[in-house]
A and B are shown apart, each in its own frame.
Chain A
Amino acid sequence: MTIRKRYLRVAHLLFIVLLLTQLLPDRSTNPVYTSYLVTFAVGAEVIVLAASALIKKEESLALLVDVAGFIFILLGAWSLATAKYDYLNPQLFPAPGRVIHQFVEDRDKIFVNVKSSLQTIIKGFFLAVAVAVPLGLFIGWSARLGSAATYITKFFSSIPPIVYIPYGIALLPTLKSVSVFVIFLATFWPVFAGTMSGVLGVDKRIIDSAKVLNVGKLEMLFRVILPASLQQIFLGCNQGLSVSFILLTSAEMINAKDGMGYYVKNYSDFGDYTRTITGLLVIGFVVIGVTFLFNTIQNRLLKWKR
């Protein structure tokens, strides 16, 4: 890539425009924390510049720079509508600097809540995967049970898992265990169904090729059928994971004492919309982070497929 292609980008112009808008006088009567917004924008720009110097693939760099450009536009527009011209209700729409400031202020509390949410997800999700995959392999591999199980799975996976919450509350001692239980159900059925359809779809020629190598029963399941159905299993996991976040935050908003759903619900009950918006954005970042991690693992395990 030429220097021009690397560094001469519209996003950098947008960054400068964003900085210039911050020189305008503040009209909002609430504190707007302009310095936090500027620090954040400079931080983002530094990351983009560092990446521009390091990233080798032109498309990846273009993508990153474009995303940064959008963020600068969004922050600029948000700042103009709130801090600079005061078009919006300052109670409902805090200035961007204020949200960033709130995040820094609340970082310990947010960290505790994120940790609690992630722990719940991990417990429910991994428990479900650990049970659903071997069970799906065994049942899918025995042809007769497989077709019966497909119908039963269809029935149970058609029940939206959120309706289990009230029953879970009656059934289980703590709200945390209810969340784990509901996430377990939400992940179990799609992963189980995915594993079974993966097993049923394994190419007969692959199975023949394993048979002539005289592989044992367990080896057939875990070294042949499992990798051959991995893509379908991941489809189920993806579905389970995205539903899990919806369920977890819903459950946390109902009656929890911690977690990100609790954070958002609690502060919006008190009319603290700065914290509400901070919470929403943090949840967005956490979900993106987890999804990214998950996709990385998936690509690594499926790299033999082109």
Chain B
Amino acid sequence: MTTNKIEIKNLTVNYIENKKSFNALHDVSFGVGKGEFVSVIGASGCGKSTLLSVLEGLYAPAGGSVQIDGKELHGTGTERGVVFQHYSLFPWMTTKKNIEFGIKQSRHDVKRSERAKIADEFLTKVGLSGFGSKYPSQLSGGMQQRAAIARALAMNTEILLMDEPFSAIDAKNRVILQELLLKLWEGDGSEERKTVVFVTHDIDEAILLSDKIVVLTAHPGTVNEIVNVPFERPRSRSELVKTEEYGRFRNKLLSLLYNDIAERIGGEEVVL
């Protein structure tokens, strides 16, 4: 058996809210292979974001373990790049300075003058050349997320953790950003692909991007099913959605999510 880049074993996480502890994740186990793109989907409140905070090192689990390259995870680390839904960038730094700061934190061998060059290069890659001197507040939400992706990529980490990065973006721009991420991650084959854990509640987003989808059930969050995405790469949304197979696969995922919701409500009529 090949060893996974990230190995999550029997993970249990308790959340404390108003002095009451409740079980956010219970006995979650799955692995993420090197260079694999894994999405975690589930209804809101299923603990998918909590799972990612554990991987980010911001939240300590109550039980079980997370291993990266066979080593137990302790706290935050710059071998993992993170893109949040909001505030990935520091609002008081220009876009370019934000990226340079990220590079400084993760790549100690890169000289100051080189940082600016790399930052420009990645700004161009995400279509933001010429916006380097703008502050985040001067950019639209979609552009801010492009910049956040540029920083995460410029940091050149082996692992990328993305916590609903496109959830707050309008539908049209969300599609554009998904395709940008797909293109950047798939690359042209010359570079090794990054290992990605991507949290979302958008089924189409998960199918388009992922090699593997982990479906979580809520209260407490447990793994309902792990599904391999059968579509060839490189993918394109327009080609993908035309196929019958896509519809079937999408329905399968929907029923995994939907059944879960129906069970929780206790068989009452559900209006979605």
Contacts and interface: CB of A to CB of B under 8 A. Distances in A.
Q: Are chains A and B native binding partners rather than an unrelated pairing?
A: yes
A208 B91 CA distance: 14
A224 B78 contact: no
Interface stretch (B27-35, B81-89, B234-242): B81-89
Given A230-B92, A306-B138, A211 B76 contact: yes
A208 to B, nearest CB: 6
Interface stretch (A10-18, A139-147, A212-220, A283-291): A212-220
Interface string B59-80: 0000000000000000011101
A227 B88 CA distance: 16
Given A205-B87, A306-B137, A306-B138, A212 B92 contact: no
B87 A212 contact: no
A179 B101 CA distance: 43
Contact of A208 (B84, B101, B105): B84
A209 B88 contact: yes
Interface in B89-112: 89-93, 101-102, 105-106
Contact of B58 (A211, A230, A303): A211
B78 A209 contact: no
B56 interface: yes
Given A205-B84, A214-B76, A214-B78, A304 B58 contact: no
Interface residues of A, number: 19
Contact of A213 (B78, B136, B137): B78
A227 B138 contact: no
Contacts of A304: 91-93, 135-137
B220 interface: no
A210 B84 CA distance: 12
Contacts of B135: 303-304
B57 interface: yes
Contacts of A206: 87, 90-91
A58 interface: no
Contact of A209 (B53, B77, B90, B106): B90
A228 interface: yes
B105 A214 contact: yes
A211 B135 CA distance: 21
B260 to A, nearest CB: 28
A279 to B, nearest CB: 42
B56 A212 contact: yes
Contacts of A303: 135
A203 interface: yes
Contacts of B84: 205, 208-209
Interface residues of B, number: 26
A212 B93 CA distance: 17
A40 B58 CA distance: 65
By CB atoms of chain B within 10 A, which of A212, A215, A224, A228 has the most? A212
A4 interface: no
Interface in B105-151: 105-106, 135-138
B137 A227 contact: no
B101 A213 contact: yes
A208 B58 contact: yes
B105 A209 contact: no
Nearest to B102: A213
A57 interface: no
A304 B135 CA distance: 6
A305 interface: yes
B161 to A, nearest CB: 8
Nearest to B93: A304
B137 A212 contact: no
Contacts of B58: 208, 211-212
Interface in B218-233: none
A212 B90 contact: no
A199 B89 CA distance: 18
B105 A213 contact: yes
B57 A212 contact: yes
Nearest to A212: B82
Contacts of B106: 213-214
Contacts of B82: 209, 212
B22 to A, nearest CB: 20
A141 B198 CA distance: 32
Nearest to A213: B105
By CB atoms of chain B within 10 A, which of A211, A213, A230 has the most? A213
Contacts of B77: 214
B255 to A, nearest CB: 34
28 contacts: A203-B87, A205-B84, A205-B86, A205-B87, A206-B90, A208-B56, A208-B84, A209-B82, A209-B84, A209-B87, A209-B89, A210-B90, A211-B58, A211-B76, A212-B56, A212-B76, A212-B82, A213-B78, A213-B101, A214-B76, A214-B77, A214-B105, A224-B90, A227-B92, A230-B92, A304-B91, A304-B135, A306-B138
Given A209-B84, A212-B56, A212-B76, 18 more contacts: A205-B86, A206-B90, A206-B91, A208-B53, A209-B82, A209-B89, A210-B90, A212-B58, A213-B101, A213-B105, A214-B77, A214-B78, A227-B90, A227-B92, A228-B92, A304-B135, A305-B91, A306-B138
